[in-house]
Amino acid sequence: MRRREFISLLGGGAAAWPLAARAQQQAATPVIGFLNSESPGPLAQLVSAFHRGLNDTGYVEGKNVIIEYRWARGQYGRLREMAADLVGHRVAVIVTTGASPSLLAARSATREIPTVLIAGEPTQDGIVVSFNRPGRNATGVSLFTDVLSAKRLELVRELIPNAAVIALLVDPDSKESVIESSEVQEAADAIGQRIIVSKASSEPDLVPAFASTPTVLLIAGSPFFTRRRDQLVALAARYAVPTVYEWREFATAGGLISYGPSLTDAYRQVGVYAARILNGDKPVDLPVQQPTKFELAINLKTAKALGLTVPQTLLARADEVIE
């Protein structure tokens, strides 16, 4: 081979080396599948918390990890197809947040790919065997939302002690909401409080639910309600209905009172667990985390608009008072 041809061949090979190296590096970058039953807009802050959990464990999206997002935007029928698509992308771990259908869709798609979840009570759906030893390919965070129903009922009675009747808004299509309804009714029966249940699973159901509320309204947890946070807060203001919600985000959006676990902290923890699995940990060795932070938020501006005086005993216990 002549010297000029050799140099030309060497130069061409050198130019190809960086391309090959980049391709190899990209192929080696782990991929997280992110499956959610809702829409990205209202959950932007929570997704940021998920990223913080990843960052705290050394992973940065676009740098050393790729995230494939799948948003069902309330169309639960698409979740199984989306979960199967993530499996087809050979993701290293699947993160499922949102409603139970997201968890079940991921479970139906794979029993092998590690799955990190946020759920109300994952043992009830058979997703994990126990909290300490999940036993399968899934672990994550349990929010225990239904067991806090009695506490929210107490808040309603403390805020309006003379309320003869308390209304409860339930989404009949949400398993979590139906369980919570049962918990509220049981707690109400124990103290002799009358409860009336309104049901809403579509837009036309919402206005009658607020218009017919006699005194105060307690809203059960449901992705359908979470997705319509601003609409529910607006209806409560229009019909002057004191309303108690599950998540802090409702109070910051103008709702009267909210009480529940920190969603922000749950999403951050899911990010931490996803990163730990990328680092080699097994779901079976990662206990399902339980909430350690519960947030009582009170919106005094809304209380004033409703003509309510929030008891000082309630204000003293609040984690956040919005003025």
Give the integer Cα–Cα distance in Å for 301 and 242. Answer: 12
Give the integer Cα–Cα distance in Å for 195 and 209. Answer: 14
Question: Does 1 score more than 50 pLDDT?
Answer: no
Instruction: Map out the domains of the chain with their CATH numbers.
Output: 10-143+263-285 (3.40.50.2300), 146-261+294-322 (3.40.50.2300)
Closest C-alpha to 99, from 173, 159, 25, 162: 173
**Spatial CB neighbours of 322, under 8 Å, sequence gap ≥ 6:** 251, 252, 297, 298, 299, 300, 301, 302
Q: Report strand pairing: 257-261 vs 294-299.
A: antiparallel
Give the integer Cα–Cα distance in Å for 140 and 147. Answer: 18
Span 171-207, pLDDT tens digits: 998 877 888 888 899 999 999 999 999 999 999 999 9
Q: Would you say the C-alpha torsion 160, 248, 289, 112 has a positive or negative sign?
A: positive
> Whole-model pTM?
0.80
Span 44-66, pLDDT tens digits: 889 999 999 999 999 999 999 99
Span 116-160, pLDDT tens digits: 998 877 776 677 878 888 877 999 998 866 668 888 999 989 999
Bridge partners for 258 per DSSP = 245, 297
Q: Which pLDDT score, from 0 to 100, does residue 18 have?
A: 46
Running DSSP on this structure, what letter comes out for residue 288? P
Of the pLDDT bands very low, low, confident and very high (cuts 50, 70, 90), residue 99 is low
Span 271-312, pLDDT tens digits: 999 999 999 999 999 999 988 778 999 999 999 999 999 999
- Edge-to-edge strands, sheet with 194-199: 194-199, 165-170, 216-219, 243-245, 257-261, 294-299, 320-322
CB atoms within 10 A of CB 247: 25
